[in-house]
Amino acid sequence: MSEPVASPIPCRSVLVIGGARSGKSRYAQALAESTSAHRLFLATAEAGDKEMSARIARHRADRGLGWETREEPLDLVGALRAEARPGRVVLVDCLTLWLSNMMFAERDLAAEVARLAAETLDLPSPVVFVSNEVGHGIAPATALGRTFRDEQGRANQEIAAACGAVVFVTAGLPALIKPAPRPDLRLT
């Protein structure tokens, strides 16, 4: 696994995005660990079945010592307001599960994502968000799947706009995509 990418500009928030099993969570954890000895893992997953319970336990064990954990499947803004503080880094893993939790709770997704994006701009500590890029595959076969894909794409765009940096991880390799230089097209 590559070391975290050094951002060319200081930033308070980073969105780490990639596909399933891309290495994004491992990268985000390494980035947070290189930022502060005071770390909070803000988990959005819920253990709804045995497989997810085992997955959560494995992730908790992989983090090891030096991490506090808070589980918050719905009120991410409230949790960040309560937990973000100077000298501490917060790792939110992941926005994709948070969004699906919000959908099943029949919350106003656009309003909740807007609240999270606005809150991101004012947090007193660095935050690393993890999210899935779900739009790179084939179109989902169901209306619910297509709605989720579309909502996740919109949420990723809004959170990316609010974050100072965005890192795309694929095959365990991070690529800094924000800030990015703008191509200078020539008409000659």
Catalytic positions, please?
59
| Nearest residue to 32 (alpha-carbon basis) of 53, 54, 14 | 14
Q: Name the strand (E) or helix (H) holding 179.
A: none
Q: Residue 114 region, left (φ>0) first, then alpha (ψ -120 to 50), else beta?
A: alpha
Q: How far is C-alpha 175 from the geometric centre of its chain's CA atoms?
A: 15
φ, ψ at 182 (rounded to 5°) = -95, 130
**176: three-class secondary structure by DSSP:** strand
8 beta partners: none
